[in-house]
Amino acid sequence: MLYLDFLATVHERLRPAAYLEIGVRNGGSLALARGRAVGIDPAFAIHAELDGDVALFRTTSDEYFSRPDPLAPTGGQPFELSFIDGLHLFEFALRDFIFAERHSAARGMIVFDDVLPRDVPEAARERHTHQWTGDVFGVLQVLERYRPDLLVLPLDTKPTGLLAVVGLDPQNTVLVDHFEEILAEFRRPDPQPVPREILDRLSVVAPHRFLEAGVVELLAGQPADVTAAALAPELRELVSRRFGPGFVAVPA
């Protein structure tokens, strides 16, 4: 399944009232939004037809989220779906996740692009291939270690995979508290040490299985003010039942 087809289905079923996209490029994925959408990209060049309620910001995500009220364009509505497809470097992707989660609803979903490089050259921090994921794959390892409260599901979409993250907790500060420590370990020089399970797609979920599992419908059916603690038991039980206990870590 192409990643845009997956995202289109999520938009249709989740019906996010507020959508965030970091890395807009030509607007192909931003055009899928039907609610209020915020697109952030310092060099976007829109070719797609944007007929929704879209606020575009030609700036970096760091600058945007340093503003006094990043949710002003949504009228204060937290993001219920975010798509992170900005600069393909580990530290920027991780920081974008921190920004997105802090301004998300607990019933929301954050999706990363380009987390499943097909070979080591494609995963290089210094781009020298046509198709390029960079070292975004490292975010998967960090979330599994530092945020076992999250449900982190790599999806085998074409061409280079997505990572769906649910069970969001906007109040959690673990990644911020350990950010420098994380960078010291996970920001590595090329060639990147891409784990074999990522290159061989050994622990990934087929996108159609994810869409059939009821995860999106469970999120969509929650009240707007549901908390992470209230949602977690049902969400974790569903993921464990549909995908196996290997995708449900035990929080510390």
pLDDT given for residue 48 in this prediction = 92
**Interstrand relation of 36-40 and 18-22 (parallel, antiparallel or unpaired):** parallel
Per-residue pLDDT of the chain (252 residues; tens, 9 = 90+): 999 999 999 999 999 999 999 999 999 999 999 999 999 999 999 999 988 899 999 999 999 999 999 999 999 999 999 999 999 999 999 999 999 999 999 999 999 999 999 999 999 999 999 999 999 999 999 999 999 999 999 999 999 999 999 999 999 999 999 999 999 999 999 999 999 999 999 889 999 999 999 999 999 999 999 999 999 999 999 999 999 988 887 665
Residue 78 lies in a domain: yes
C-alpha 174/C-alpha 192 separation (Å) is 25
pLDDT given for residue 229 in this prediction = 97
Residue 177 lies in a domain: yes
Q: Look up the domain containing 22 and give its range.
A: 3-247
Residue whose C-alpha is closest to residue 220's, from 8, 12, 15: 15
- Report the C-alpha dihedral over residues 22, 16, 7, 233, rounded to 10 degrees: 100
Residue 252 lies in a domain: no
CA of residue 113 relative to chain centroid, distance:
7
Q: How many domains does the chain have?
A: 1
* CATH for 237: 3.40.50.150
* The three-state (H, E, C) secondary structure of 115-149, written as one string: CCCCCCHHHCCCCCCCCCCCCCCHHHHHHHHHCCC
Transcribe 17-50 into DSSP letters: SEEEEE--TTSTTGGG--SEEEEE-TT----S--
C-alpha 219/C-alpha 238 separation (Å) is 11
Residue 220 lies in a domain: yes
Residue 67 lies in a domain: yes
pLDDT given for residue 51 in this prediction = 81
Residue 233 lies in a domain: yes
Residues 110, 168: contact at Cβ < 8 Å?
yes
